[in-house]
Structure 1
Amino acid sequence: MNSDHAVLSEKAASSLLLDITRAGDGLRLVAVGDRGHILISDNNGYDWRQVSVPSRQMLTAVSFPSATTGFAVGHDAVILKSTDGGDSWVKVYDDLDAEVPLLDIMMMDEQTGFAVGAYGYIVRTEDGGETWDDWFDMIENEDEFHYNAITQIGDGTLLLAGEAGLLYRSLDGGETWEFLESPYEGSFFGIIPSSDPGSAIVFGLRGNAFQTVDAGESWVEVDTGTDQTLFGAVHIDGNGQVIVGSSGTLFEMSDPEPQIHTRSDRATLLSASKAPDNSLVVVGETGVHRMPVGKPAVATLSEQ
């Protein structure tokens, strides 16, 4: 890595980053964020390099259904695609007239998936991102509340969560959607599948989190031990999850009992991923950080 590129990557790695993921089951970590930054690490999050991107729009979410194929979404409804593990990207969709941000993307495989965002914006692809169909009228959302998160759980059910406690599910791969009775009227910002096929945890404002074990038929409150807003989550070894949020909050839901940690800098955390060496890599308002699960003391990128 030349010196100029190293300086650029270090600056980008300490800027606002909104999402991070593993590239399929591979070794690579990919993070996205402000100004269209996309960063890649191939050594467990110790070092990062910035790749060229055909957009300067803020990127909010990234999804890699395989080690080579990935999608990133952001403001102005932009959707980017990579077919080489994130080394290069092309723009496959945008909607400047809509003036809405896409807030999440979920790819069920390399061909089929959904991107969702503000004001009830939702599009679907069935051809690997070559075309995107408007799915707005397929979901009952008269108030055009924001869609913040979408995922597929173990039994194949799709779950969609958003503003004002909105919850929906699809049992047919997204062809049709049904409104679910919500346990909470505040906004949800994330969903993560649990270990059982029909289970998932949805989370959001003021530390509120709820778990379903029957694909959304019913929800039980999860005691997170915090009133900080929760934004992102990742699976850890065993059947546990770590959910991250504002003020440096990390809620570890694992046996034998849940734990709550707070980063010393109290910087907001927006997403997390597990590195191949089982360390936790988190991103947020101060960039990217590595930390071992279960230990709140964390070294920043520049300190490692």
Structure 2
Amino acid sequence: MKTKIHLSNKFAFVILLFMVSQLLQAQWVKQNSGTTERLADVVMLDSSTAIVVGEQQNIWKTTNSGETWNFIGLPWSFPMNWKSVSFADKLNGVIAGSNVITTTDGGETWEPEFYSYDKNFLSALRLDAKYIYAGDDSGYVYRTIDSGKTWSAEKISAYPIRSIFAYLGPNMSDLPLYALTSHSIIRKNDFYPSAPWNEKELEFFSGLGSEAYSGESCNGGGGSTFIVGVQGDWRAAPVILRQKMSDTSWSSANLFPSPDGELYGVSAPSSSIIYACGSSGLIYKTTDGGDNWILHSVSATQTLHSIYFFNDT
């Protein structure tokens, strides 16, 4: 039996997917996280260890596939809200929100990177022990290449930076790095720091009530990059965009059925298997790299803001 984690928001449940491969059926089961505060993001460090973050300084960790959760206390008395969590491996991670904090021991202890609390960070990405990125609500991306000893800041958009992600393929010499806003995608090559960020408007999210929320490239390389959000021209319709490695433009997936709602999170553990989640318990899955999507039946009706799979088996 394989175990995966998914995060819910409103009533702070974490949902575990128990998949029995012989039956080819998946069941989503609510798990009590131990808090009633809103949770915003989740990451898995291995097949049984996960960390979730949320409002009011909530950081929780499980080492037994979600059966129990332990609160990670921080040595600061004032409350902070966390929006994003990212790990490069089992030890080195970053959390972004009211501040940026980092860990080198698997999330047991955390250190602040900034001592100014006038920023609102929305996204974070840790590529390895040294390279860390964070995006804020003013269109700035912050970058360190020395594990947080020094940081540089660059304004790359007029929109808030909602998601930062990278193509992590077998060829690391040409690594595309992406920053996603509500209406645009911004790309650069991480191994050429002097190269400028290239911002392109996303026409799918240009209409009234339309916006993008999160993006991810397929783990291991060879697959596509996906963006999820909502298109609100006529109604609030969930949207999944795909760009293959050979494509120069984005295409919209044909989602059927397509109930009213928004998609907030996406996880692409392989080039063929991708998940997306959103409002009112929406969960979509593809097993063919995004050509066809299946709407999962889930008992939860809460908004699901984040989803993460450690692998696809």
TM-score range, shorter chain: 0.7 to 0.9
8 Å Cα contact 1:166/1:187 also seen in 2: no
Which of 263, 276, 284 is the aligned partner of 2:298?
Answer: 263
Aligned residue type for 1:146 = P
Size of the aligned set, in residue pairs, is 259
Alignment partner of 1:21 is 2:43: yes
Closer, same or farther: CA 122–95 of 1 in aligned 2, 3 Å: farther
Aligned residue type for 2:139 = G
Aligned residue type for 1:116 = G
Closer, same or farther: CA 232–104 of 1 in aligned 2, 3 Å: same
Secondary structure class of the residue paired with 2:255 = coil
Alignment partner of 1:156 is 2:189: no
Aligned residue type for 1:80 = I
Q: How does 1:203-222 map to 2 (within 5 A)?
A: 203-205=228-230, 206-214=237-245, 217-222=248-253
Q: How does 1:1-304 map to 2 (within 5 A)?
A: 12-23=34-45, 25=46, 27-55=48-76, 56-75=79-98, 78-97=99-118, 100-136=119-155, 139=156, 141=157, 144-153=158-167, 154=169, 156-163=175-182, 165-173=183-191, 175=193, 176-184=196-204, 185=206, 186-194=210-218, 196-197=221-222, 199-205=224-230, 206-214=237-245, 217-225=248-256, 226=258, 227-236=260-269, 239-255=272-288, 257-274=292-309
Closer, same or farther: CA 268–123 of 1 in aligned 2, 3 Å: same
Aligned residue type for 2:224 = S
Aligned residue type for 2:275 = V
Measure how far apart 1:173 and its partner are.
3.8
Measure how far apart 1:276 and its partner are.
7.9
Measure how far apart 1:171 and its partner are.
2.1
Measure how far apart 1:150 and its partner are.
1.1
Aligned mates of 1:83, 1:172 — CA distance in 2: 22
Aligned mates of 1:224, 1:110 — CA distance in 2: 38
Q: What's the counterpart of residue 7 of structure 2?
A: none
Secondary structure class of the residue paired with 1:135 = strand
Measure how far apart 1:26 and its partner are.
6.5
Secondary structure class of the residue paired with 2:222 = coil
Aligned residue type for 2:131 = T
Closer, same or farther: CA 27–269 of 1 in aligned 2, 3 Å: same
Aligned mates of 1:248, 1:207 — CA distance in 2: 12
Which structure features the higher share of helix residues?
A: 1
8 Å Cα contact 1:44/1:275 also seen in 2: no
1:128-173 CA-to-partner distances (Å, cap 9, x unmatched) read 122221112xx2x3xx21111110013621111112x211110244
8 Å Cα contact 1:59/1:74 also seen in 2: yes
Measure how far apart 1:245 and its partner are.
0.5
Measure how far apart 1:275 and its partner are.
6.0
Aligned mates of 1:200, 1:238 — CA distance in 2: 9
TM-score (norm 2): 0.75
Gaps of 5+ in 1: 1-9, 279-304
Secondary structure class of the residue paired with 2:56 = helix
Closer, same or farther: CA 198–217 of 1 in aligned 2, 3 Å: farther
Aligned mates of 2:269, 2:187 — CA distance in 1: 25
TM-score (norm 1): 0.77
1:161-220 CA-to-partner distances (Å, cap 9, x unmatched) read 112x21111024473211224232232111111365362001112312211113772111
Closer, same or farther: CA 104–171 of 1 in aligned 2, 3 Å: same
8 Å Cα contact 1:12/1:37 also seen in 2: no
